[in-house]
Amino acid sequence: MTDTPAPSDAAEDDGPARGPDAAPLRPSILDPLFALARTLPGIGPKMAPMIERLLGTPEQPARIVDLLFHLPQGGVARQLKGSIAEAPPGEPVTVGVTVVSHRPAQPGAGRRPHRVLVEDPTGDIALVFFGMPRARVEKMLPLGAHRYVSGRIDLWDGHRQMVHPSRITDEAGLAALPAVEPIYGATEGLTSRAISKLAHAALDRLPILPEWQDPAWLERHALPPFADALRAEHRPEEAPAPRREDGTPPPRTAARRRLAYDEILASQLALALLRARQRRKPGRRNAGDGRLAGRIEAALPFGLTSAQTRAVAEIRADLASERRMLRLLQGDVGSGKTAVALLAVASAVEAGRQAALMAPTEILARQHFERLGPMAGPLRLRLMTGRDRAAERRATLGDLAAGRIDVLVGTHALFQDSVVFRDLGLAVVDEQHRFGVHQRLALGAKGEAVDFLVMTATPIPRTLALTFFGDMDVSVLDEKPAGRQPIKTLTIPVERIDEVVAGLERALARGERAYWICPLVAESEFIDLAAAQERFEDLRRHFGEAVGLIHGKMPGPEKDAAMERFAAGGTKVLVSTTVVEVGVDVREATIMVIEHAERFGLAQLHQLRGRVGRGSAASSCLLLYRGPLGQVARARLEMMRESEDGFRLAEEDLRLRGEGEVLGTRQSGLAAFRLASLETDADLLEAARDDARLVVERDPGLRGARGRALRVLLYLFERDAAIRLLGAG
């Protein structure tokens, strides 16, 4: 593979404008869909800003594709009810009636409406119009005419009536009515019906696109073509089934599943291309003969759990192969990821290469460094952070380039251009979801055929792992080291805080230590800080100098000092905002108090709780809450009492709150899907991943007939970046 595509490929597939860096041009067949929405007929100067508010952003005005992907949330059936007598009161209905008489509003008689008496063989009702000109009502409903009226029938003053029918039509008009009126997420000034009209206009612009799905798959699952599916969604013929009694969503229509599958396949294909590119450069064998790893393992103060042993074996097999490793190591807090990483690193060093270990914050980088040190035996470790003095830094860079450092531990600082390895072979990245894929690529560029091990302590439900890390292989540490005691979890109303403080006093007298996490308020770190400071002073009045404080606004060295005082026992209670890193390890800490626990998500509560129970002493977690609790908050706190299984809690969190919260990516704009929903379409993920991998295996350049159609799919869902990978690497 060369870095630039052969010119003939470029001309053939994507038009002329393609360089190694620029994304190739979008196929012109998609142009009509990426035209601005405001070019549609019927959008005047009044409506345009409303469309932008609904579907556009300042950087990206709404396009026709955005309108088409703005699917209705539901539909209202306009079924024909047989008769007036049987029409259920208060429900939308359509009835066929004959006009019997008019009683127009009397001029000057206040707000008296124009009433029209209509009947069918089973009874009669009054149609009621307020403030509408008499001539207009009479024209819509001529005496003796037969009409179909839609609306709700209500009982008023003993008479049945329909106020302002939503539709009045004759036989021909009825035939043209949609059986179901789609209901869209609307915006101020823009009604659902207006959106529906625009969606219809947008459908008219839908080009004929090549089929990118495997026809056999479509047939097996009875899925319609893409265009038909879009039309079926915007012009529904059946009202969607209601949510089931247990609150789970109803099964989706074939049309909706088709669209969801398209979107999911696009994302999985993008990941598969990324994976293929990472692996395409021939890897090098990055595992040695086991002499260093063996020595290190033998010197560990514990034996590995079988989960650790399995993970180490999987990693070593990857390192030893000619392919490049891209592996996610998932393990709950305390599951022992560090030892696994250390043994991986040792393998690479045996093979004569260097390793980098990258953590998201200074405090974690420092802790990794300090904890690895005593276990690392013959490995030469070095820490590099943004806080190093210039001379220190120069020395580190010199030693790194000369190969006098085996393992460099650090933060984002490792990305900088000035950081040059003699021969980087393995990069271990902790808590990857805070780093983007781009940063991963940047680190990968610092060596030849760099193997990647990504560690995360956030248990990621399988569905999410596939969505965001579908390009990776996964090792799971699903077993805790032996000898850990369960953490006792209690929920306590904040009114009983005095009892908590009294209990804390007894625990401190026994020599235990405690974290006290302060509420997460609004979005402001300053407000969080004020609350933490107040609690700190409060507890100081009780426990004096034994109370420490740590928060995100502290300068780094102060943070470290506060953490170190607590770790060394200088302080016994550490009051903290949530910014304190989850990985920090103080074995004597046995009590975790979390204020306003009702404001945290399950995954976060679980992470915080995981900071106690690291030693062999019994630990507890006290969840203070302020009532009254909403349903979700109550469910969450109950789950916390019930379970210590991070994966189970994460699945539950996903169900309760959605994916962005679980991964902590909500703010980072890592939006998942527009058409698919992880709640209902999770089962499609695996199929899409397998399909995508197969495609990339058979047709890595996407040049065959299906491959070309799949390029259109990637553009349609704006995974353009993946297309760039086709040419490069």
Binding footprint of Mg ion on the chain (CB under 5 A) = 583
- Using CB under 6 A, which residues numbered 590 to 649 contact ligand ADP? 614
d(CA 722, CA 276) in angstroms, rounded, equals 11
Q: Cβ 374 to Mg ion, closest distance in Å?
A: 15
Q: Cβ 338 to Mg ion, closest distance in Å?
A: 5
**274 contributes a contact to ligand ADP by CB under 6 A:** no
Q: Cβ 660 to Mg ion, closest distance in Å?
A: 24
Residue type present at position 322:
E
Q: Which stretch binds ligand ADP (CB under 6 A): 23-31, 103-111, 334-342, 669-677?
A: 334-342
Residue 97: DSSP 8-state: E
- The interface partner of residue 277, options being ligand ADP, Mg ion, none and the CB cut-off 5 to 8 Å by kind, is none
- Using CB under 6 A, which residues numbered 66 to 95 contact ligand ADP? none
Of 339, 654, 710, 713, the one binding ligand ADP by CB under 6 A: 339
The residue among 563 and 682 lying less far from ligand ADP, judged by its C-beta, is 563
Which x/- pattern, by CB under 6 A, does the window 298-327 give for ligand ADP? ----x-xx--x-------------------
**286 contributes a contact to ligand ADP by CB under 6 A:** no
Q: Cβ 726 to ligand ADP, closest distance in Å?
A: 37
d(CA 364, CA 583) in angstroms, rounded, equals 7
- The interface partner of residue 331, options being ligand ADP, Mg ion, none and the CB cut-off 5 to 8 Å by kind, is ligand ADP
The residue among 236 and 646 lying less far from ligand ADP, judged by its C-beta, is 646
Rounded to the nearest 10 degrees, the angle between the axes of helix 602-609 and helix 646-657 is 150
Q: Cβ 583 to Mg ion, closest distance in Å?
A: 4
The residue among 339 and 532 lying less far from ligand ADP, judged by its C-beta, is 339
- The interface partner of residue 137, options being ligand ADP, Mg ion, none and the CB cut-off 5 to 8 Å by kind, is none
The residue among 151 and 583 lying less far from ligand ADP, judged by its C-beta, is 583
d(CA 48, CA 36) in angstroms, rounded, equals 10
Say if CB 355 and CB 345 are below 8 A apart: yes
CA nearest to 606, candidates 433, 459, 432, 435:
459
**336 contributes a contact to ligand ADP by CB under 6 A:** yes
**333 contributes a contact to ligand ADP by CB under 6 A:** yes
d(CA 534, CA 522) in angstroms, rounded, equals 17
The residue among 95 and 428 lying less far from Mg ion, judged by its C-beta, is 428
**278 contributes a contact to ligand ADP by CB under 6 A:** no
d(CA 133, CA 138) in angstroms, rounded, equals 9
Residue 281: DSSP 8-state: S
Residue type present at position 547:
V
| 3-class secondary structure, 597 | helix
Q: Cβ 540 to ligand ADP, closest distance in Å?
A: 30
Residue 82 CB contacts under 8 Å (≥ 6 apart), including other chains: none
- Using CB under 6 A, which residues numbered 136 to 195 contact ligand ADP? none
Q: Cβ 359 to Mg ion, closest distance in Å?
A: 9
State how far the alpha carbon of 552 is from the alpha carbons of 87, 240, 331, 527, 608, in Å. 62, 48, 25, 12, 16
**97 contributes a contact to ligand ADP by CB under 6 A:** no
**337 contributes a contact to ligand ADP by CB under 6 A:** yes
The residue among 308 and 432 lying less far from ligand ADP, judged by its C-beta, is 308
The residue among 477 and 597 lying less far from ligand ADP, judged by its C-beta, is 477
The residue among 65 and 357 lying less far from ligand ADP, judged by its C-beta, is 357
Say if CB 680 and CB 252 are below 8 A apart: yes
Token pair belonging to 31:
């142009």
State how far the alpha carbon of 533 is from the alpha carbons of 100, 517, 518, 539, in Å. 76, 11, 9, 10
CB atoms within 10 A of CB 135: 9
Say if CB 294 and CB 346 are below 8 A apart: no
Which contiguous run of DSSP H or E holds residue 172?
A: helix 171-176
Residues facing residue 456 across a β-bridge: 330
Q: Cβ 476 to ligand ADP, closest distance in Å?
A: 12
Bridge pairing between strands 92-103 and 146-152: antiparallel
Say if CB 56 and CB 62 are below 8 A apart: yes
The residue among 343 and 419 lying less far from ligand ADP, judged by its C-beta, is 343
Q: Which stretch binds ligand ADP (CB under 6 A): 244-252, 330-338, 506-514, 694-702?
A: 330-338
- The interface partner of residue 335, options being Mg ion, ligand ADP, none and the CB cut-off 5 to 8 Å by kind, is ligand ADP
d(CA 661, CA 720) in angstroms, rounded, equals 26
d(CA 344, CA 317) in angstroms, rounded, equals 10
Which x/- pattern, by CB under 6 A, does the window 420-459 give for ligand ADP? -------------------------------------x--
Cis peptide preceding 121, ω within 30 of 0: no
Of 24, 331, 444, 548, the one binding ligand ADP by CB under 6 A: 331
**479 contributes a contact to ligand ADP by CB under 6 A:** no
CB atoms within 10 A of CB 244: 10
Task: Tell me which residues touch ligand ADP (CB under 6 A).
Answer: 302, 304-305, 308, 331, 333-339, 457, 481, 583, 585, 614
